[in-house]
Amino acid sequence: MKWRYCLIGLLLLFPILSSGQAVISLKVNNAITPSTENYIQRGIQKASSSHADALIIELNTPGGLLSSTRNIVGVMLKSPIPIIVYVYPSGARAGSAGLFITLAANIAVMAPGTNIGASHPVVLRGQLDSIENAKVTNDALAFIRSIAQKRHRNIKAAEAAVQSSISYTEEEALDKNLIDIIASNPQLLLQKVNGDSITTASGTKILSTKDAQIIAVSKSFTEEITGMLSDPNLMYVFLIIGILGILFEILNPGGIWPGVGGAISLLLAIYGMRILPINYVGFALLILGIILFVLEIKIVSHGILAIGGLISFFFGSTLLIQSPKGDAFIDISMGIIITISILLALFFFFIVGMGLKAQKERITSGNEGLIDMEGIVFTPLTPTGRIKIVGEIWTAESLSGDIEKDQKVVVTRVQGLKLWVKKKNEDTSFL
């Protein structure tokens, strides 16, 4: 009987599926990275394979990588499914790379209290001369013009956002024909676009979204992980853990866990460094700082090496990633840098320093611990006799000739159960 109920359910559901009464929803709430690129590509494939009526990308981004943005725009322009980019919620922005993605949508929408633009290209690995800067800017201008022409949007307003870093409110963007609609929530958005005729790569489609169900597609585990590793703060933490772990394994072979954990952390950091704009001078200063910390516990410098290490480590951390003004999404948090610098300094100053110093201290347990300890002659040493030390009677041999009973002696050597002693305050260095 169960199979009959399943069949009836499928038959009832078939009209809804065939009529396309569903839209796929994606949420992009961070910088545009390869993780975002994979997420949007997968969302388009999901919408296409499930015959959804449209795909909504809820966008809130400060910007991101131009290479990933180009790939995302390319996939959007070739999509067989209508794509709606929705700058949402209130307070969100489609900054920098977000402008390109928004204009590439079949339908561009903004929520009240949002903004879009400020898209002048920036180069993060060094400075460009005037000719190179003009090339990069002109390339971005051509890119935004091609998108605007394709989607029949205001080319001059789009160029101004790139050329002069102009940002527009939702009302200004609508007035300048950069977007199509202002909607306060996704349900209202679907009502407003219902019945619109959309031209996609596979032909013209009439949207039927008034009562469509919104199906949210979350990032996969892999996309979440790769997105996290693109975060400069997390990359920085993994880098420090990786360097320290491998360093401790080298200094103390056989620990295993520091080496394994360090290697894994360093590989994860390298993934983030592959994407982020690394300043190699900053990286070198950071490594130098850690080396100076290690040298401080190996060489008596009265703190000079440690202070130099702290300064080098701090400035190396601040220079490790350099982002242009206004692009703080690729900065390492100053709070994290200060916290790790202080903890690292304390760690090397106290924990590691005390541990290594303890290893170098004289052994104070076992027979070797008797050396330099004082005792009392129990029976005259002529030159052999007995002494009392730490409440115990030991066989002893005098290095200072005969010593009478009750005289104080100092242990100079231990061999098995026999001690060699000298009179207290007597110099026997010539022996």
**Cβ-based neighbours of 97, under 8 Å, separated by 6 or more:** 32, 61, 63, 64, 65, 66, 68, 69, 119
Q: Say how far apart CA 57 and CA 54 lie, in whole Å.
A: 10
Contact, 90 vs 111, CB < 8 A? yes
Residue 129, exposed/middle/buried by CB under 10 A (0-12, 13-18, 19+)? exposed
Positive or negative CA dihedral for 334, 340, 343, 347?
Answer: negative
**Residue whose pair of structure tokens reads 């979440």 in the numeric block:** 224
Q: Which long-range contacts (CB under 8 A, 24 or more apart) does 245-248 make?
A: 247/290, 247/294
- Read off the pLDDT of residues 76-110 as tens digits, 9 standing for 90 and up: 999 999 999 999 999 999 988 999 999 999 999 99
User: Count of CB atoms within 10 A of residue 355's CB?
Assistant: 10
Looking at domain 19-219, its CATH superfamily turns out to be 2-enoyl-CoA Hydratase; Chain A, domain 1 (3.90.226.10)
Mean pLDDT of the chain: 83
Reported in sequence order, the residue ranges of 212-262 that DSSP labels E, i.e. its strands, are 213-216
Local structure of 50: helix, strand or coil: coil
Length of the chain, please?
431
DSSP 30-46: S-B-HHHHHHHHHHHHH
Closest C-alpha among 40, 67, 136, 35 to residue 277 = 67
- Read off the pLDDT of residues 255-286 as tens digits, 9 standing for 90 and up: 788 889 999 999 999 888 877 778 889 999 99
Contact, 395 vs 388, CB < 8 A? no
Residue 193 above 50 pLDDT? Answer: yes
pLDDT-derived band at 316 (thresholds 50, 70, 90) equals very high
Q: Pick 367-423's CATH classification: 3.20.20.70, 2.40.30.20, 1.20.120.80, 2.40.50.140.
A: 2.40.50.140
User: Count of CB atoms within 10 A of residue 202's CB?
Assistant: 11
Amino acid of residue 1: M
DSSP run (H or E) holding 55: strand 54-59
The distance between the two most distant Cα atoms of the chain, rounded to a whole number of Å, is 117
Q: What is the pTM of this model?
A: 0.67
Residue 16 pLDDT:
43
Residue 159 above 90 pLDDT? Answer: yes
- Read off the pLDDT of residues 168-181 as tens digits, 9 standing for 90 and up: 999 999 999 999 99
Helices 334-346, 232-251: inter-axial angle, 10-degree rounding: 20
Reported in sequence order, the residue ranges of 120-175 that DSSP labels E, i.e. its strands, are 167-169
Highest mean pLDDT out of 9-18, 52-61, 341-350: 52-61
User: Count of CB atoms within 10 A of residue 362's CB?
Assistant: 8
User: Count of CB atoms within 10 A of residue 151's CB?
Assistant: 20
Determine which of 27-36, 249-258, 266-275 has the lowest per-residue pLDDT on average.
Answer: 249-258
Q: Say how far apart CA 395 and CA 393 lie, in whole Å.
A: 7
